[in-house]
Structure formats: structure tokens, C-alpha cells
Amino acid sequence: MSASHITSPQAADAASFSARNLLGIEGLSLADVLILLDLADTYVDLNRQMEKKRTLLRGRTQINLFFEASTRTQSSFELAGKRLGADVMNMSVGTSSVKKGETLIDTAMTLNAMRPDLLVVRHGASGAVELLSQKVDCAVINAGDGSHEHPTQALLDALTIRRYLGSIAGLRIAICGDILHSRVARSNILLLNILGAQVRIIAPPTLLPPRAERMGVEVFQDMSEGLRGCDVVMMLRLQLERMTGSLIPSTREYFHHYGLDSQKLKYAKPGAKVMHPGPMNRGVEIDSAVADDPEISLIQDQVEMGVAVRMAVLDTLSRNLPNVSSEKAKE
Amino acid sequence: MITPDQIAYINARLVDPASGLDTDGALITFGGEIQAVGPDLFPGEGASNVSDQFQVIDCQGHVLCPGLIDMRVFVGEPGAEHKETLATASQAAAAGGVTTIIVMPNTDPVIDDASLVDFIKRRSRDTANVNVYPMAALTKGLEGTHLTEMGLLKEAGAIAFTDGHRSVTSSRLMRQALSYASTFGALVVHHAEEPSLSQDGAMNEGEFASRLGLAGIPAAAETIMVERDVALVELTQGRYHLSQLSCAASLRAIEQAKERGLDITCAVSAHHLALNELDVGEYRTFFKTNPPLRAEEDRQAMVDGLSRGVIDIIVSSHDPQAPENKRLPFADATPGSVGLETLLPVALEHYHNGHVELGNLLRALTYAPAQRLGLPSGRLAPGAPADLVLIDLDKPIIFDASTLKSRSKNTPFDGRKLQGRVLRTVVGGKSVFECESVVSLSGER
């Protein structure tokens, strides 16, 4: 995954990013991350212009293959591909084809035969996107695999923080809520560590992954302690659909102890920013008064950054695709 | 030319874990039995000193010991012959130096009726080239609700009773099983796992599973069940064998139970002696096992338990799986790995690195399971079955999955550097496997 030949961030440009796929933050170097974030910055500017269309991916086919329902991530990738000029196809593979007995690998092989250039994949099982990437020739982008990683979400979060708070190094950032099921949390923990932030996670023990303290974070179970001095508070969606057994007694009790309202936000540093990857469970993990306050909330900015980051990822990976002329030369 | 009935294995290093024998000498088989064994059978030990009444096999100083007895082997027959048949499992066993396999009842249909025990016996007699003994189900359909007809099953040839890789969750039923089995002196073999703690898990619980985003199986899922079983054995005074253990806390529970004099034995799989959770790497499903590969401290505890004799037996836990069960996201893949052909060299790692003495290691693979199951094999003694294996202890090999005789290729040891090779496997006096490069060793006159 990593572009190990890059020795200093200064030497970095999009051409230096050597990875074929983006399967996770794990394995990325600081230089890789800065390449993507710097490029994404330019796409933020582009996206704010009237003329947003580029032709960089003209002739390329991008397939968004979603085994799990998604509105915002899928539309964000779709828009990113279209703005760069790619032909974008959305495929939502529900449970139906799984019931017919088609496996993930069968699906991958079928799509591969259609010769896409970029494959954006979301799947409910950890490691599924990596498995699929071993069976196809195109560039694969992980749009979320189980509870493992969601790298573009972490990149867009980092871009959002960087644009509003400047450098990420040295910031104290708390990630709160359902860490156990969250691929967003895992990717963010990795990425924010690469960028030099001091990362905290706050959750009841039942929603913490075992040995979470070994993942480069400080672990807190109490919001008042955990939020103290934090520059950024990232809230996570309570993934009720993934919960088995009794992880929390009720959403009422959860909100009482872990839901972010203006009262609990006072524990954080004055002026602290609030983020949420969406979709939000209002009144469960976050209070509307906080979520909707433009002085506090960066949630809408995250959505905007999402398109730019995904454009940067598509752009960067497409540069490493074999181009048509060299393939013709082989034939 | 008539092949003589008597075969002399000369120039052997005889290792018999049952008697503690470890000496240079010779062994004579007559028909299906061992006739004589010892250092002074043929003064001079040259092939020329052996009379013409023998067929002679020159062991060239290599280890000749009882054939291995593998107490935990899953096959696909009946019901999943595409994974493994009794015939292919027996070929894999022969290649691995295993002369007796104990097959699990987790087939389709489940081996829970005397007629099915008979089916396994007949199919084995007709198609297998090693000894095959079936374990019958402990509960009907492996459902954990009703006991099987243990008495009738035992008479039909069931060697012990188990639900294979399923646990009996009802403590009452387990108590009844242990108690009722004692009527027939039957051995209850149990896979210890509390399913409510393990059901969603895909690998060992811990930092590594957390990083991979996989739900974990805590060691406590096993230990809780082991401790329950120990309490029930104490209550019933039954005969109990823990089919496989994987973590340090379970080992402590077993050790304490043995100190109290309970009739308890336990086994560990070769892969739990050799591998740990980190070997899962990037979601490699061939390393998904049940119980899962544990932490390195647990693996070391297993080796220690073996060297101290707390762990009695080593098994392969041979569990063939087809590609469609393994080429899946890790959480969806079926656990299990084939192991018959790697059992010996993987176990020998612990002899080569000095952790376990050769005699103790081989005992756990031969005499200990024979004794526990009441088999006459597993020893080098006159009158014992001529089930033997000739081993080149030191031969370095790089294990290659493509050489597997097993119908399924799901081995976690592909490419592993191992030391030790089976040169010849003898079942009932007949050679059923000869290592290709040493065929010339058999000096028939």
C-alpha cells in the first residue's frame, strides 16, 4: 500500500503516490496522506466554481459497488467521478444475489470482465474489499468494509479539520460513541495519529473494541473527563443494526451519559468544533441544537469536503492505471 | 516370487514411547502383528546376517516408532465427499505417518445411529488404507437435546462419543451424558466453547481482532466450559476427554482437575502449538480455526503444557474445507484446516527447538491416544498391531500445499520450513506409504 520511496513531504506530488488501491489508511505514509489532502484542497476550490467539470477521467469507467445501502457516500463518489469526467455506474447489490448463491468473488469476477477502471466498494464484512481487490485488475477504493476501515471518511474529516483549524499536529481530538462497530473510528484513529494529533476515544466499555488502548489512543469512559481540553469532538452514529445482545440498556440512558448536547460540550475547549460522519441519530448520540449550530458544527462542511477528497483519490489512483495505449502495445 | 510373511526392519532407531525404549535395533513383523523387537535380534545388524525367511527393510538408522494415532479428524463422508472421503483422508493420513484416524460424527447424516457406525466401518474397510475408528454423536443430530443410544453405538463399534466441534450447552444433559456413558465405560469427548460468548466471533479477541474490525472470541468462552465440565466430571466421576484446548486458563483448569485425580485427559492441535492470532495476517481464512488461534502467551502455554505432560495428546484437527467455504470475507468463512499431512513435522518443531523430548512428543501422538481409547496399537511390542512409521527426523522440507493428498488444500502451513519427513508408513504389516525418494531403500532379496 505505502509509497515507501517518498522520503519527505516536500517531495510529494500526485505522481509520487504509487499505490494501486486505497483499501485503508493502514499502510499510508504521511507523504501519501499529504498528497491526497493537498490535492483535495484544490478540488474544494474547483467545486465552489460554476464550471466544476474536468476531463481527467474521460473514457474511464467507475463502478460504485455497494453491498450495503448508502446514500451519502455513494452519491459523493458518484458526483466526484462525474465531475472528473468518468462514466459512473451505481450497483447496489442487496441481499438478493447473495440469496441466489453468488459470492463476493463471483460478483467481482463478473464486474472485472466489464473492464472498469475504478471500483468503489462498500461491504458489510471486514476485509471483504481487500479480498475483492485481489481478484480484479482495476483500482479499488474501499468505501467502508464492515467494522474495519472507511479511509475516504477519515481523509475528509482530516481535510475538514485542517481547513478550519489549520494544522492537525498537536490538536486534541475526541472520538465518541460506538467505537466497537465503527470503521470510521478505526480509520480516523490511524489517520489522526499519522498527522500527529492526540487522539482520545470515549465510550462505555461495551462499545469499545477489546484492547482499544493499544490502538494509539487514550481511552475514557466519562464524557466530562474525556472531552476536557479537546479541540474537536467527533461523534459517531450508534449502529443499532449491528448490535447483538445488550450493549446499551436504552438509547435514553445512552443519550443521558454519552449524547453530545451543549451542556457536555462545555467540557471541551471553548470554541471546540463538532463533527459527525452521518447519518445522525438525533437525540441519541447528538442533540439537534449542537448539530445544527453553524458556529459549532462542521457537519455540512464534512459533506462538502467528502466530494473533494473522493475526487483527489480518484484522480490519484487513475494516474497509476495502465493507459490504453500501453495496453494496445501489448496486444 | 513369494513375498515372505515376515518382514525385518533392520538398522532402525527404535523409539517406543510406551516402554521408554530408544535404542538401535531391529523389528520383525509377522502378518499384521509385531513379532519381535529389540537391539539384539540380528547380531551384526547387516542385511547379510538376516536369514532368507525375511523380507528386509533397511531403516538406515532412522527412527522407527509406532504409527501415529490422530484422535480428531473430520471427513466429508457421508454428505460432503467433495471435501474429503474416507479414502482420501486415509491417503493423507498414510502420507503423514498416521496409521489410525478417529473420525468425527459431524457428517450428513450425523453418525448417531448404529447403522451409520456400521457404514463408516464398512466404507473404511473397503476404501481406506489406514485404521479408521468412528466416534459417534453424543447427542442425537448433534442438537444437544437428547442422548444417543450409547450402548448400541458402542457395540456397533463407536470408539467414543462426541458432538465434534459442537458444545453441549445444557449442563444437565452433559451431566447425564457423563453419567450414562459410565455404564459402558464409554469416553465422552467434548469441544469446550460457550456459544453465547463465541457465536459472533471470527478470531481470538484482542488488539489484533480489534484492528481488523473482526468480532473476537474471548479465551473465557473456552475456559468457562472447561471449568463447567470439570465440575460435572467431579460430580459424575465420568470419563472425559477435552478434544482440544487453546488457552492458558483452560490448561490451568485441566491441571487442577488432574491433581484432584479426576479421569480427565486433553489434547491440543498441532496448529495451536505452532501458530498464533497474528498469523491471520490480512484476513487469511486458512488460519481461521475453531477454537481460534490464540495469543502468543497461550501458544507458549500449550507447548509448556505438552512438555510437562498436562496435555496428553496432540491431534491434527484435520478439517477439510472446499474453496467456496474459504474464499469469503473472513467472518463468513468456515473455520478449519487440514492437518493430517503436517501433524508430525509441525509437532517435531518442538522437539527440534528443544522444548519437548522426543519420547514425550511421540507418546502424545501414539501411545497416549491408544491408551485413552483402549486401542492395542501405539506401541512397539510383540503381539501389538504392526502399525509403524519410519521417520527421517532431521530432513528439512519446505512444505508445499500442492503436494497434499487430502482432497481439500486448506493448510495454514504452505511454504513453512519444517524438519522431519515420513519415509514409510506401515499399517497391519503392509506398507501403505513410501516417500518417493526412498523407494529404493526397500531391499527385497
What distance in Å separates the CA atoms of residue A62 and residue A64, rounded to the nearest whole number? Answer: 7
> Does a structural domain hold residue B408?
no
Cβ atoms of B25 and B14 within 8 Å: the answer is yes
The answer to whether residues B265 and B312 touch, using CB atoms and an 8 Å cutoff, is yes
Question: Mind telling me how many Å the CA of A257 is from chain B's nearest CA?
Answer: 24
Under DSSP, the state recorded for B376 is: S
CB atoms within 10 A of CB A12: 22
Residue A243 has pLDDT above 80, yes or no: no
* Overall domain count for chain B: 1
Q: pTM for this structure?
A: 0.92
The whole-angstrom separation of Cα A20 and Cα B142 is: 48
Q: What is the pLDDT of residue B45?
A: 53
Cα angle A303, A309, A310; round to 5: 95
Contact B74, B97 (CB under 8 A): no
Q: What is the pLDDT of residue A48?
A: 96
Average pLDDT, integer, range A263-272:
96
Distance from A213 to chain B by nearest Cα, in Å? 9
Q: Which of B180, B123, B129, B124 has its CA nearest to residue B153?
A: B180
- CB contacts, 8 Å: A183 with chain B: 213
Residue B397's DSSP bridge partners are B418
Question: B75: which residues sit within 8 A by CB, 6+ positions away?
Answer: B83, B84, B85, B86, B89, B103, B104, B107, B320
Find the radius of gyration of the CA atoms of chain A: 20
Cβ-Cβ contacts under 8 Å for B196 (sequence gap 6 or more)? none
At B99, the amino acid letter reads T
CATH code at position B351: 3.20.20.140
Whether the upstream peptide bond of residue A279 has omega within 30° of 0, thus cis, is yes
CB contact under 8 A, A125 and B329: yes
In a domain, B225, yes or no: yes
Give the N- to C-terminal CA distance of chain A in Å, as an integer. 29
Among A26, A105, A130, select the one facing B327 at the smallest CB separation.
A105
B76/B325 Cα distance (integer angstroms):
13
- ipTM value for the complex: 0.90
Per-residue confidence in pLDDT tens, chain B, 445 aa: 456 689 999 999 999 999 999 999 999 999 999 999 999 888 765 556 677 788 999 999 999 999 999 999 999 999 999 999 999 999 999 999 999 999 999 999 999 999 999 999 999 999 999 999 999 999 999 999 999 999 999 999 999 999 999 999 999 999 999 999 999 999 999 999 999 999 889 999 999 999 999 999 999 999 999 999 999 999 999 999 999 999 999 999 999 999 999 999 999 999 999 999 999 999 999 999 999 999 999 999 999 999 999 999 999 999 999 999 999 999 999 999 999 999 999 999 999 999 999 999 999 999 999 999 999 999 999 999 999 999 999 999 999 999 999 999 999 999 999 999 999 999 999 999 999 765 444 444 3
Residue B309 lies in a domain: yes
Residue of B nearest to A144 (CA): B213
User: Which residues of chain A are at the B interface, by a Cβ-Cβ cutoff of 8 Å?
Assistant: 26, 103-105, 123, 125-128, 130-131, 145-149, 183, 186, 209-212, 214-215, 244
Q: Is residue B396 part of a domain?
A: no
- Contact call for residues B221 and B193 (beta carbons, < 8 A): yes
Q: How far apart are CA B89 and CA B82, in angstroms?
A: 12
Pair B164, B142: CB distance under 8 Å: yes
Closest C-alpha among B24, B11, B23 to residue B50: B11
Q: Is residue B422 a part of any domain in this protein?
A: no
* Nearest-angstrom CA–CA distance, A121 and B43: 74
Q: Which of A105, A126, A212 sits opposite B212 (nearest CB)?
A: A126
Query: Do B157 and B133 touch, CB atoms closer than 8 A?
Result: yes
Cell reading at B143: 442438537
Residue B397 lies in a domain: no
pLDDT at A226 over 80: yes
Q: Taking CB atoms and an 8 Å limit, are A103 and B283 in contact across chains?
A: no
The 8-class DSSP code of residue B1 comes to -
Question: Does residue B410 form part of some domain?
Answer: no
Question: How far off is chain A from B78, nearest CA to CA, in Å?
Answer: 23
Is B324 in a helix, a strand, or coil?
helix
B 210-239 near A (Cβ less than 8 A) = 210-216, 218
Contacts of residue A26 in chain B, CB cutoff 8 Å?
211
Q: Alpha carbon A319 to chain centroid distance?
A: 21
In-domain check, residue B165: yes
Length of chain B counted residue by residue: 445
Helical residues (DSSP H) of chain A, grouped into ranges: 30-47, 72-83, 95-99, 104-113, 128-133, 151-165, 183-194, 223-226, 251-258, 262-265, 288-291, 299-319, 324-330
| A188 neighbourhood in chain B, CB within 8 Å | none
Q: Residue B260: is it exposed, middle or buried by C-beta count within 10 angstroms (0-12/13-18/19+)?
A: exposed
Q: What are phi and psi of B253, to 5 degrees?
A: -65, -40
Lowest mean pLDDT among A237-251, A256-270, B229-243, B377-391: A237-251
Q: Does B331 contact A149 at a Cβ distance shorter than 8 Å?
A: no
Kindly list the distances between the CA atom of residue B217 and the CA atoms of A127, A165, B202, B305, in Å, as whole numbers in the listed order: 18, 41, 7, 22
Phi, psi of A308, rounded to the nearest 5 degrees? -65, -45
| DSSP H or E run through B7 | strand B6-16
Of A105, A123, A212, the CB nearest to B210: A212
Residue B346 belongs to domain spanning: 67-373
